[in-house]
Amino acid sequence: MAYQGVAGLFPFAVAAWLFVCGLYGVVVSRNLIQMVGCLAVLQSSTYVLLAAVGYVPDGSAPVFLEVVHGPVVDPVVQALMLTDVVVEATVAALLLALAVQVHTHAHTLRPDRLTRMRG
Amino acid sequence: MTARGRLVLFAAGAGALFLALLAASARLPAGGYPGPYGTVLNRVAVLERHTTDVVAAVTYDYRGFDTMGEEMILFAAVAGAALLLRRTRSEWTGPEDLDHLPDRSVADPSDAVRVTLLLLVPVAITFGAYLAMHGQVSPGGGFQAGVVLVTAPLLVYLGTRARLLVEIAPGASVELGEGAGILGYLLTGVAGLVVGGDYLDNFLPLGRLADVFSAGTILALSVAVSLAVAAGLAQMLISFVEETLRQEG
Amino acid sequence: MSLLRHAILLLAVLSGTGVVATRDPVAQAVTLSFHGLVLSTLFFLHAAPDVALSQVVVGAVVLPLMFLLALAKVRRQRVTRPQGRR
């Protein structure tokens, strides 16, 4: 039984918990590079949410030869997740490059020391 | 506001957000996934596009325009990282071995590590090529193939010195590969226009189901995306490795 | 299968919390790699083999490697500029 009942709510609760957890990590982090790791947890919460939305109970993967026998999982949501995983990893790498450049010019990685913008 | 005050404020807001997300999830329709797009596509895609992998058909055919946008994001992120991590000539400190810090001695990878990783390189290349060409037949496609292909130079970097990574994947050919991948995607779309249909129209012959050369442009787009993703990630890796500077000096 | 699905979801919660709780960035690269592997298994158990294929390489190899390379660059900058603040 998906989408309702306590068991059906569990994947969405997992996604919500990962989101809040990642957000907490970003807020209290004292190191810019560690903050990017917490951002990766934030990103993973959206993947869990998408996986839970598209799942059909006892559904098989959307790879089959001709005729559908029985329930099949939604393919559109999987196409979204597929491109998302690779692209968000490159965006996280871009953020790491930004953190390295911040350290080059400000000599610190602590967010609360980076309060003033310098030319 | 003190740090503790900020934390309390955040805890209140995050708790409210968590409860709101749970409440919203409880209002989803009972009985699971309601459709209709997923169910329609599962019934129709195999016969319409002659592909057995519906996810690849969605990524490169039904929603091919979105995949083009995602490729652009990847390209922009790689270009941004390369731009941020380049070092100007005045910052170059000299031709010493940039592979290790001056206060630590670096150990070459042991022979066991080197042999194992280098033996895995042809496995990675073969599997990546297989995934790129079989996206329309089995789980696979451009993005998976690209990330598996990029493990080949990555394994070389981990098993040997960084200098070898730059020698086997020089900056010019990596940039060429990335540009060729993205251009291939765009030109395949334009070819759909030239033939008389829409942009990114699936105009190539659809072939027989479960053949490798089937499903029209899905194979071409899949190969283009795998090239773009592999070259883009390799460019990102090279930007992070300091040795690239030695080529300019 | 449903029990396995719930078990892997619980493991995802634990590994995600572990990533956030790890303060040292070098150790966080390892926990991030484990989290990537758990996610890949989660996708596989949710009947999404394509996504699992891309996640297993990206989450377990590429992202932690970028982490460690960024940390290596930062550490090198700290050594060559000894007058900088920590």
- Which residue in A has a C-alpha nearest to residue B74's C-alpha? A87
pLDDT at position C52 over 70 = yes
Which A residues, 88 through 107, put their C-beta within 8 Å of a C-beta on chain C?
89, 92-93, 96-97, 99-100, 103-104, 107
Interchain CB distance below 8 Å, B7 and A27:
yes
Q: How many degrees, rounded to 5, is the angle at CA C30 between CA B97 and CA A99?
A: 60
B137: helix, strand or coil? coil
**In this complex, do C6 and A7 lie within 8 Å of one another by their Cβ atoms?**
yes
Mean pLDDT of chain B: 83
Task: Give the tens place of pLDDT for each residue, A2-21.
Answer: 566 667 789 999 999 999 99
SS3 A111: helix
Closest CA to B225 of B92, B101, B74: B74
Nearest to B21 by CA among A17, C59, A117, A16: A16
Band (C84; pLDDT cuts 50, 70, 90)? very low
> What value does the mean pLDDT take over residues C19-38?
95
Is A47 in CB contact (< 8 Å) with chain C?
Answer: yes
Task: Give how far C16 is from chain A: nearest CA, Å.
Answer: 6
Distance separating alpha carbons of residues A38 and C23, to the nearest angstrom = 10
B153-191 pLDDT, tens per residue?
Answer: 888 888 887 677 777 777 788 889 999 999 999 999 898
Chain B residues in contact with A63 by the CB 8 A cut-off are 52-55, 138-139
What pLDDT score does B3 carry?
81
Q: Choose among B18, B55, B74: nearest Cβ to A79.
A: B55
CB contact under 8 A, C80 and B147: no
Selection from B11, B64, B45 nearest residue B215 by Cα: B45
Determine the residue among A19, A78, A83, A84 to mutate to test chain B binding: the one whose Cβ has the most chain B Cβ atoms within 10 Å: A83
Q: Which residue has the tokens 């393919």?
A: A75
Q: In chain C, positions 8-67, which contact chain B (CB-CB < 8 Å)?
A: 48-50, 53-54, 57-58, 61-62, 65-66
Contact C70 B240 (CB under 8 A): yes
Q: How far apart are CA B56 and CA B212, in angstroms?
A: 13
Give mean pLDDT, residues B198-204: 79
Q: In this predicted structure, what is the pLDDT of residue B103?
A: 54
Greatest mean pLDDT among B32-36, B87-91, B112-116, B209-213 = B112-116
Which residue from B minimizes the CA distance to C53? B144
| A63 close contact with C: CB closer than 8 A | yes
φ, ψ of residue A45 in degrees (nearest 5): -65, -35
Output the six-digit token pair for A68: 């559908």
**pLDDT attached to residue A15:** 95
Gap between the Cα atoms of A81 and A87, Å rounded? 10
In the block, which residue shows the tokens 């990029």?
A: B150
Query: What mean pLDDT comes out for the span A75-88?
Result: 92
The interface predicted TM-score of the complex, written ipTM, equals 0.88
Taking the complete model, does pTM exceed 0.95, yes or no? no
CA dist B204 and B208 (Å) reads 12
Any residues with CB less than 8 A from the CB of B64 and at least 6 apart, and which?
A: B189, B200, B221
Q: Which residues in chain B touch residue C49, judged by CB atoms under 8 angstroms apart?
A: 139
Contact B101 C54 (CB under 8 A): no
Q: Which of B130, B149, C58 is nearest to A85 (CA)?
A: C58
When pLDDT is cut at 50, 70 and 90, the band that residue B91 belongs to is low
